Amino acid sequence: MSEPAYNDLRTELPPSVSANIGTIAEFSARHSEHLSATQRFVEKTAGILGSPGYVAVNIIFIVLWIALNLLMPDLGHKRIDDPPFFWLQGIISLNAFIISTTVLIRQNRMSKLADHHAHLDLQVNLLTDEKCSKIIALLEELRHDLPNVDTKTDREADELAKPADPRAVLSAIEREQDPSC
């Protein structure tokens, strides 16, 4: 997205949304600042290794390696790597090792970041639940205090006015997932 269009969208957003976007951007920047030089190198390497261009370069390299080694005797030269291409297999195996190790390192970091995001989501959701429950309780109280409003009992509103107990919810989830508990 171009910079002017992005700035136009930010000015159309409510200030609270812009502040939240800023907070998330600060979190990401702070997390990036704490990366070691090695981790930055791994991130850049993973970006390259995961690109379609890298796959294309590998395929071209493999095809050229095989073609050159098959054509070398016809051109009057000795083959570097006779079929079944032992050296090519070694290069491909080393490449696979580097790619898989790089991906695992990056996935570990991304998993930790996802854990932070999940924890933040949980905290915000619990706080939102408490706020909604309080609002419902206040509305019910207001409804009972107004003289011109019918004061019938609303069981659903009474139930929703109670905030969820995170421990009880967690226990219920654990029992559902493992009935032997």
Structure tokens at 157: 């509103």
The rounded distance, in Å, linking the Cα atoms of 144 and 151 is 5
Mean pLDDT, residues 17-23: 77
CA 145 to chain centre: 48
Residue 161 has pLDDT above 90, yes or no: no
Distances (CA, A) of 175 to 52, 118, 134, 169, 171: 45, 22, 29, 10, 6
What is the reported pLDDT for 127?
Answer: 87
How do the domains of the chain map onto residue ranges?
35-177
> Between 8 and 151, whose confidence is greater?
151
pLDDT class of 15 with cuts at 50, 70, 90: confident
Compare 74 and 173 and report the one with higher pLDDT: 74
What does the pLDDT look like over 76-97, one tens digit per residue?
999 999 999 999 999 999 999 9
**CA distance between the termini of the chain:** 51
The alpha carbon torsion through 121, 127, 131, 137 (nearest 10 deg) reads 120
**Contact 138/146 with Cβ under 8 angstroms?**
no
pTM of the model: 0.60
User: What distance in Å separates the CA atoms of residue 41 and residue 102, rounded to the nearest whole number?
Assistant: 10
Buried b (16+ CB within 10 A) or exposed e, 77-104: eeeebeeebeebeebeeeeeeebeebee
